[in-house]
Amino acid sequence: MTDQPAAHAQNLSPDTVVVAVGRPAREHDAPVNPPIVLSSTYVGTGTVVDGDRAYGRYSNPTWDPLEEALAALEGATAPGLIFSSGLAAASAALSLIPAGGVLVMPRHSYQGALVMAQELAAKGLFTLRIVDIARKDEVIAALTGAGESAADMLWLESPTNPMLEVADIAVLCRAAHAVGALVVTDNTFSTPLVQKPLELGSDIVLHSVTKYLAGHSDVVLGALVTSNTQLHGQLLHHRSIHGAIAGPFEAWLALRGLRTLALRVERSQASAMELAQRLDAHDGVARVRFPGLPSDPGHVRAAAQMHGFGSVLCIEVAGGADAANAVVDALALWTPATSLGGVESLVERRRRHANEPQSVPENLLRLSVGIENLEDLWADLEQALNGVRAGRGPDAKV
């Protein structure tokens, strides 16, 4: 599969890498795109040797170009590992914690990952220390254990979902390594075009490929990326034995979506920045959470470790949960749905989920900014906010 562009990926800009890497070898009449290989098993010889495909749970040629592209984007020396979902990838990563070990995790990690960790901890597999990831000293104290056992793994998510708190990734990675803990960073919100956790010291990067990487809300897929060959081997073994593998069609769709990642991220980030500013000035909004705003508590850190500020922003609607729900109901262009990172703009009141931490405000709406025309997105938000604020229902508009 590896061809000229892949071999030179490190010299290419990320916006070229998403287009060029993971193409079939450049031979006469070869297809430009990798094919989808539908086979559960592979022809073998008398002995299975390392590198044999052998069986469809161990490998599939359709995974390879996507795994190659993800590694090139995150700057990893080992291929990425794709999984059936982001949470399947999280499950594999959590399996690296030794029995009876300690996991430090942000209180506003993606709630699915948090619930998984809480359930595993409740079974006694490890101890869970939940922290405010923006408070460096609190995280470092949880890592060292203050008299108790030191941590074995630090889970990072920055910005967090949905509170958009920003961790000082480089400092926390150094503190984790000082006590011998591994660091896993969920980079779903930022994508490797915006933030490179491996460069900042993380051992493993996690993606819900479902979101920006695939980008079209038509795939559920996850990935782990690491340069550490021992960890790579352990995670590959976990995937092969636990079986949370990607379907070939999903892998193919994700690579197809990845080709336009740079354009999508550029457009949606620019729109998110502008919308955050306009929302900040709207009196129907009590608070905007977006690290791109200079007034945001995470702004300075985000500016130092990200290239841009992402395309998810949160607002707290003046008037509480009912007003927030009314705004969602009044929107015509923004789709009320969970998830994020697709071409279409989505909106969700996060506390509608029973599992969402109580510390997430009831009136918080998470906005995933898509690639539609900025003025159309704003017009829809403005009419909904104005309508609810005036208590007269939405103006029919978009």
Q: Which residues, other chains included, contact 7 with Cβ-Cβ below 8 Å and sequence gap of 6+? A: none
The answer to whether residues 293 and 277 touch, using CB atoms and an 8 Å cutoff, is yes
- Residue 363 touches ligand PLP, criterion: CB under 6 A: no
Q: What are phi and psi of 181, to 5 degrees?
A: -90, 145
Active site residue 211: yes
Among 23, 110, 380, 389, the active-site one is 110
| Binding of ligand PLP by 17 (CB under 6 A) | no
Size of the site for ligand PLP (CB under 6 A): 16
- We find the least distance from the C-beta atom of residue 43 to ligand PLP, in angstroms, to be 33
Task: For the CB of residue 98, give the shortest distance to ligand PLP in the complex, in Å.
Answer: 23
- Answer yes or no whether residue 87 interacts with ligand PLP by CB under 6 A: yes
Shorter beta-carbon distance to ligand PLP: residue 212 or 388: 212
The span from the CA of 252 to the CA of 258, in Å, is 10
Active-site position among 23, 129, 196, 211:
211
Q: Which is nearer to ligand PLP, 189 or 334 (CB)?
A: 189
CA angle, residues 355, 161, 372, in degrees to nearest 5: 115
> With CB under 6 A as the contact rule, which of the stretches 26-34, 81-89, 322-330, 344-352 interacts with ligand PLP?
81-89
Report DSSP letters for 32-91, one per residue: SSPPPP--SB----SS--TT---BTTT--TTHHHHHHHHHHHHT-SSPPEEESSHHHHHH
Q: Contacting ligand PLP (CB under 6 A), which of 222, 298, 342, 370?
A: 222
Q: CA geometry: angle at 64 spanning 62 and 69, to 5°?
A: 120
Considering the rule CB under 6 A, would residue 210 count as an interface residue with ligand PLP?
yes
Choose the binding region for ligand PLP from 84-92, 115-123, 247-255, 372-380 (rule: CB under 6 A): 84-92
112 binds ligand PLP (CB under 6 A): yes
Q: What own/partner pairs with CB < 8 Å and gap ≥ 24 does 373-381 have?
A: 374/270, 374/271, 374/274, 374/275, 376/333, 377/271, 377/275, 377/333, 377/334, 377/345, 378/274, 378/275, 378/278, 380/331, 380/332, 380/333, 380/334, 381/275, 381/278, 381/279, 381/331, 381/334
In 126-138, which positions are buried (b, 16+ CB within 10 angstroms) versus exposed (e)? bbbbbbbbbebee
Question: 110 catalytic, yes or no?
Answer: yes
Q: Coil, strand, or helix at residue 19?
A: helix
Quick check: 183 and 154 in contact, CB under 8 A? yes
**Phi, psi (deg, nearest 5) at residue 325:** -65, -40
Closest among 292, 33, 326 to 166, alpha carbons compared: 292
Among the listed ranges 106-114, 263-271, 360-368, 382-390, the one in contact with ligand PLP (CB under 6 A) is 106-114
Q: Which of 64, 152, 186, 296 is catalytic?
A: 186
Residue 367 touching ligand PLP (CB under 6 A): no
Q: Site residues for ligand PLP, window 138-157 (CB under 6 A)?
A: 157
Rank residues 234 and 339 by Cβ distance to ligand PLP and give the closer one: 339
Nearer to ligand PLP, 53 or 216 (CB): 216
The nearest distance, CB 293 to ligand PLP, in angstroms, is 21
By beta-carbon proximity to ligand PLP, the closer residue of 113 and 265 is 113
How many other β-carbons are positioned within 10 Å of the β-carbon of residue 283? 9
Q: How far is the CB of 309 from ligand PLP (least distance, A)?
A: 16
CB of 17 to ligand PLP, least distance (A): 22
Q: Which stretch binds ligand PLP (CB under 6 A): 22-30, 85-93, 313-321, 386-394?
A: 85-93
- Confirm or reject binding of residue 161 to ligand PLP (CB under 6 A): yes
Q: Which sequence positions are flagged as catalytic?
A: 57, 110, 186, 211
Site residues, ligand PLP (CB under 6 A) = 85-87, 110, 112-113, 157, 161, 186, 188-189, 208, 210, 220, 222, 339
